[in-house]
Amino acid sequence: RVDALNKIDEAEKRNAFKLETQLMELELSEKTAKAEAEALRRQLKELSSRINSTTDGSMSRNDVELLEERERREIAEEKMRFMEELGEARETSEGELKERVLEAERLLGEATSKTSRLQNKVQS
């Protein structure tokens, strides 16, 4: 009986470790997305600054504004693609996490049932 309870405890610990690992992976993905967004913001700022400082009259102000707008759009599109990919990855991870939680709950239910049966056999 003690051996069965120890095995159940070990299985629960393994499941908890797996869930903690998945949570850390999701948190890391979120931090990566934030870092990527910040890098894109810096690139846009640097590009805008370069355009403003290199305009020597050869480009009209309108041309510069159009170029800046195009660069902003491209960076925004890149950010959206990245965020969509991150969202898809997160949905997949969350779905897998939910499945694993359900599986762990099912296994725990089975283990509890087996433990009850073992206790009943020991008592009788």
Percent helix, strand and coil across the chain, each rounded to 5?
95, 0, 5
* Residue 56 confidence (pLDDT) above 60: no
* Residue 96 confidence (pLDDT) above 80: no
* Residue 9 confidence (pLDDT) above 70: yes
Mean pLDDT calculated for residue range 53-82: 77
Q: Please state the domain extents for the chain.
A: 2-123
Q: What is the pLDDT of residue 81?
A: 84
The length of the chain is 124
Extract the tokens encoding 103.
């599986």
CA angle centred on 118, ends 116 and 119, rounded to 5°:
65
